[in-house]
Amino acid sequence: MALPSPSYTITLRVQVPASQRASSTVVAAVADTGAAVTGVDIAHSTSHGLVVDVTCDTVDAEHGERVAAALEEIEGVHVLKWSDSTFLLHLGGKIEVALKSPIKTRRDLSRAYTPGVARVCTAIADNPDDARRLTIKRNTVAVVTDGTAVLGLGDIGPAAALPVMEGKAALFKQFAGVDAWPVCLDTTDTDEIVAIVKAIAPVYGGVNLEDIAAPRCFEIEARLRAELDIPVFHDDQHGTAIVVLAALVNALKVVGKDISRVRIVVSGVGAAGNAIVRLLRAQGAEHIVAFGRSGALRPGAPQDDPHRTWIAEHTNPEGFTGTLREGLVGADVFVGVSAGDILTGADVARMADDAIVFALANPTPEVDPVEASEHAAVVATGRSDHPNQINNVLAFPGLFRGLLDSGATEITDELMRVAALAIAGVVADDELNSAFVIPGVFDHRVAEAVAEAVRTVTGQD
């Protein structure tokens, strides 16, 4: 069941009769629609009554319209206007450029720009490595997309992807002090994307690939990693995998199971599923069965691309050929990165005792988390309105902070595995419980722990 969410917060300015009961009547009417009232303010009074601002969380845009309609049905009540808080937050964009050093005098100008800047240009021309020391390169990441796999929206194009890339840049800054900038490309040609990113690379200390559809994302990442001297990271793949591993390490502690012995079912073999399988294997998982749209991948069965072939050859050693539901019977762990509402609580009930369910499809998980929790010991989703949110923001800010600090150029499975263990380690063993296997996204210790782990692995701590 969908619940009211801050993603759909609205504020309604309502004119009501001058009465002691007017505001409470409005609040009750809003609540009756299923909205969650979060604020009531008397804006001002007039000769005709009061003007009241009512703020509430709704389920979706249509729900907001129903709230407004319900208020209009009350005698003497009129909705003057209403606004959507999410759209208001995005007006004019979410990020900006700010100066680190003020330019207030001619002396400031002569150092920051001409003629003094020529000395710095010459120094970099003589020693290109100085670009990291003397420019924004040492702390700047390009957030690159072609808009072909944006959130759960699919191929919506580079312009429509820009709000997401702005948000990513904001998270880099908020959680790790990294200056990131959206680079939304109006092309889906692999060769062209690689060429463009290589051409702009001198400005940046790292590249974060985002929302590029599989399987092109695999080739783009591999080629850029091979051809650039800065780290390249596809967050949809590896950021998700890092946080999944972190949560699973702690969830297994809660239920007292060993990763080498548990049977793991993965639903979804795209970018995220591929990276998750690889990282779970790096941590010692030996019994994984991965399911795509056509069923379980297995050794020897032909696949559509090399990445699915790799999964098929490195998982499902027993050659299981059944459906996802059948594969869940007796499984210890379910990890979903596929589609919403493909399972039920009854399916979870057929898993092993003390099962772990990570239903990460957004905004609708593979299985209702409330139903799943009736049968599984630990349940996690990608949503902020349920316990155990598996969110990539726990990984990528700290990861790039450590990479930029160390000047490292290579992102290995071992580096990502250690980053996952750093996230898991933020939650002490005596704090772990079924509703707390992963730190909260606003826990400042996470980015610091991940950055330190990265610096240690790269030998720069």
Catalytic residues, by residue number, are: 113, 168
Distance, first Cα to last Cα, the chain: 47
Q: If phi over 0 gives left and psi between -120 and 50 gives alpha, with beta otherwise, what is residue 211? A: left
CA–CA–CA angle 421, 409, 244 (5° rounding): 25
Contact 75, 148 (CB under 8 A): no
- Phi, psi torsion values for 272, nearest 5 degrees: -65, -45
Please state, in angstroms and rounded to a whole number, the distance separating the CA atoms of residues 452 and 403: 10
